[in-house]
Structure 1
Amino acid sequence: MTSKDESVYSELGVRTIINARGTNTVLGGSRFSEKVLAAMQEANTAHVDMEDLLVKSGEKIARLVGAEAAFPTSGAFAGLVVSAAGIMTGTDREKIMNLPKTKGMKNEFLLQKNMRYMFDRCIEVPGAKLKLIGDQHGASSQTLSDSIGPKTAGLLYPVHLASNEGAIPLASALSIAHEKGIAVLVDSAFQLYPLDHFRSLITSGADLLAFSSKYMGGPNSVGFICGKKEYVEAAASNSFLAYERPGTFSVGRGYKLDRHEITALIAVIEEWLDMDHDNRIKTMEMHLQVIAERVSDLPNVTIEEVAAAPGKPPWPQLLVHIDENKLGKTAKQIEQALIDGEPSIWINGGGTATNLNKNSLIIRAIDFAEGDDQIVAERLRRELT
């Protein structure tokens, strides 16, 4: 037990931080609302038949989001893995048992080459093969059509990359894939805002879509898939609970969920759909404005405010562009100095994996506590001076 003056983190010797990076796996996801915490606490009061809970919660999620069917998963990546598995196996127990060995199955998933991203490994985890089409400048509809062969199981479509130069639009990809009789699996992990955009993806005709709850304010370790009933059922047949059925050692065994996470998922979806998103975004923008005003007068610094928008993560961002040569520091060095300081502040420094905004600091105010904006502003000014 921890003492009255000691937190669970300090007892372990773990340092707490100010999260100015946002909803991020390496920082433990989100800060839960009272409703989400209450749902988890209530789930803790009793045990249930987990299969019954998974089925009934999937039915409720489908009703809430307007999908034909849905199923809880342990995050979006796990959802993509069991979805890819289900597209290959259907509900055939022998095929499910054989994964990741895919002999005799359609086992290729197409991906536009200019849409390669860090999570396309989800296709290979259950034993499928990733086949790239087109080049770094995009792919034509004809190329997609011609690439579909006797071994093609489906198309992976990371919809957050749909605006990449030369990318085949989702609607066109769906039309071609369905005409050729293959499934389309959409990675839509954070495609949650605005709600019209969220719903438009669900009703797009995609066979399966994967979402993460952490971008709604839910647990880091839970999400859901939704789409056509036959594909959702096939994915569920490869999930962790399917492993408990006699003669079905499914590849999804490691993607286990607890009842607390499932009830939290329902609560956070309800909360997200009922939320005043204008107010949510306005609150974040106010925090970011405090920081922007404190550093905007500094030399070698340019401020850019990026609004939340369809296809992007559901929050505003503050970009602090720096002239690294004149300042004598790199964005990465400033990021590390903020992490190493007291209190520890985590931002994104040095841009993304694709070198976008590589001379910039990216700040998000999703889970700020009272006064965090002032602390971040003062520390950032010190490092930029």
Structure 2
Amino acid sequence: MQRLHRNDYDHALRVAGAEIIEVGFNYATFPYELDQAINERTAAVFFLAGLGKKALPLSSVAEIAHRQAVPVIVDAAAELPPQENLRKFISEGADLVAFSGGKHIQGPQSSGFLCGKKDLILSANLQQQDMDVFPETWSYRGLMDQGILAGPPHHALGRGFKVGKEEIVGLVTALQLYCKRDFEGELRVWKERIQQIVDGLKRVNGLQAAHVFPTNGGRPVPAAQIEIDKAIAGMSAQDVINQLQMGNPIISVYESLASHGTVMIFPEALKSGEPEIIVRRLREILGT
């Protein structure tokens, strides 16, 4: 894994039993560094999508890994929109791509799906077999006939994270609907709602709001970027977030930049009339 790709969620790789080998620096990775790090113990190369141009691009990573018959796994959980990303990473050489079933897909929030090579997806699927599976009647008993497996792997790693039938139906339905959605219309509405928030927060002491598009990572999603000046507002960005969460209705925002005085509001979950509620609540909190 490129050092630039280390993130809060790569613990999932270690839970699966992998040892993470970092390559490169925290500002760049050179091709030879990845090439020399791969050896006979390398199970896969991990790639975190959406980081911009500092790291080695996916196409280069795939080329280096595939020369040594090593698959590339891409974490693309938050990489929708655009819809084209459903196929983009595979076309750039990824062997397995993980997407969230929630977020822009709008399926069950606890669901996700894998795209890629059949054998790798099967390998993941085998991790969720339970004790009610028997060799004689197992739906994958052909794997035993081929000598690939001795029998069903009972209670493997994924058993504790099994997906319910309701979630499967919900996700499949969401994916079918996703292919029919008007993404241009959605983006237009998103921009209108973000602009409502930005316009409504003009001339609020200690606060400066801007309409940002696209995001810093290049995703085609607008956002209201709200800078809180603690010296003028009399409260920090964290204080503002806490007040938003304590109100009725509860308002939850993007918190990761709060330590820098920034509150971000994204439009994916906003409904008609809710931008006005956000503006009114922020004005109440800041006393204007």
Task: Give the TM-score of the pair, scaled to structure 1.
Answer: 0.65
The residue aligned with 1:223 is 112
- Give the total of aligned pairs: 268
Q: Is the 8 A contact 1:208 1:228 kept in 2?
A: yes
Work out the CA distance in 2 between the residues paired with 1:149 and 1:288: 49
Residues 20-35 of structure 1: matches in 2 within 5 Å? Answer: none
The residue aligned with 1:236 is 125
Residues 344-363 of structure 1: matches in 2 within 5 Å? Answer: 344-349=250-255, 351=257, 358-363=260-265
Work out the CA distance in 1 between the residues paired with 2:221 and 2:171: 20
Work out the CA distance in 1 between the residues paired with 2:218 and 2:102: 15
The residue aligned with 1:132 is 22
Residues 174-323 of structure 1: matches in 2 within 5 Å? Answer: 174-215=62-103, 216-238=105-127, 240-241=128-129, 244-246=132-134, 247-249=152-154, 250-308=156-214, 315-323=221-229
CA gap of 1:200–1:309, structure 2 versus 1, over 3 A, is farther
Q: Which moved more, 1:365-374 or 1:283-292?
A: 365-374
The residue aligned with 2:139 is none
Q: Determine which of 272, 278, 287 is the counterpart of 1:376.
A: 278
Displacement of 1:116 after TM fit? 0.7
Work out the CA distance in 2 between the residues paired with 1:252 and 1:261: 16
Work out the CA distance in 1 between the residues paired with 2:86 and 2:97: 11
Residues 93-112 of structure 1: matches in 2 within 5 Å? Answer: 111-112=1-2
Q: Is the 8 A contact 1:189 1:212 kept in 2?
A: yes
Displacement of 1:308 after TM fit? 4.6
Q: Is the 8 A contact 1:331 1:350 kept in 2?
A: no
Question: Alpha-carbon deviations, 1:25-68, whole Å to 9, x = none?
Answer: xxxxxxxxxxxxxxxxxxxxxxxxxxxxxxxxxxxxxxxxxxxx
Residues 134-173 of structure 1: matches in 2 within 5 Å? Answer: 134-161=24-51, 163=52, 165=54, 167-173=55-61
Displacement of 1:168 after TM fit? 0.7
- Counterpart secondary structure, 1:318: strand
Q: Is the 8 A contact 2:58 2:93 kept in 1?
A: no
* % identical equivalent positions: 27
Q: Which moved more, 1:181-190 or 1:298-307?
A: 298-307
CA gap of 1:243–1:176, structure 2 versus 1, over 3 A, is farther
What amino acid maps onto 1:226 in structure 2? C
- Counterpart secondary structure, 2:50: helix
- Counterpart secondary structure, 1:368: coil
- Counterpart secondary structure, 2:34: helix
The residue aligned with 2:9 is 119
Question: Alpha-carbon deviations, 1:94-119, whole Å to 9, x = none?
Answer: xxxxxxxxxxxxxxxxx111211011
Work out the CA distance in 1 between the residues paired with 2:32 and 2:238: 43
What is the RMSD computed on CA atoms of the aligned residues? Answer: 2.1
Q: Is the 8 A contact 2:82 2:219 kept in 1?
A: no
Work out the CA distance in 2 between the residues paired with 1:137 and 1:299: 37
CA gap of 1:113–1:347, structure 2 versus 1, over 3 A, is same
- Counterpart secondary structure, 1:274: coil
What amino acid maps onto 1:237 in structure 2? L
- Counterpart secondary structure, 2:189: helix
The residue aligned with 2:144 is none
CA gap of 1:208–1:310, structure 2 versus 1, over 3 A, is farther
Structure 1 segments unaligned to the other structure (5+ residues): 1-110
Displacement of 1:311 after TM fit? 5.7
Work out the CA distance in 2 between the residues paired with 1:303 and 1:120: 33
CA gap of 1:141–1:126, structure 2 versus 1, over 3 A, is same
- Higher normalized contact order (CA 8 Å, seq sep 6+, divided by chain length): 1
Structure having the higher strand fraction is 1
The residue aligned with 1:24 is none
Work out the CA distance in 2 between the residues paired with 1:362 and 1:148: 39
Displacement of 1:242 after TM fit? 5.9
The residue aligned with 2:268 is 366
What amino acid maps onto 1:192 in structure 2? L
Work out the CA distance in 1 between the residues paired with 2:264 and 2:45: 32
Q: Is the 8 A contact 2:213 2:220 kept in 1?
A: no
The residue aligned with 2:147 is none
Displacement of 1:231 after TM fit? 1.4
Work out the CA distance in 1 between the residues paired with 2:47 and 2:162: 25
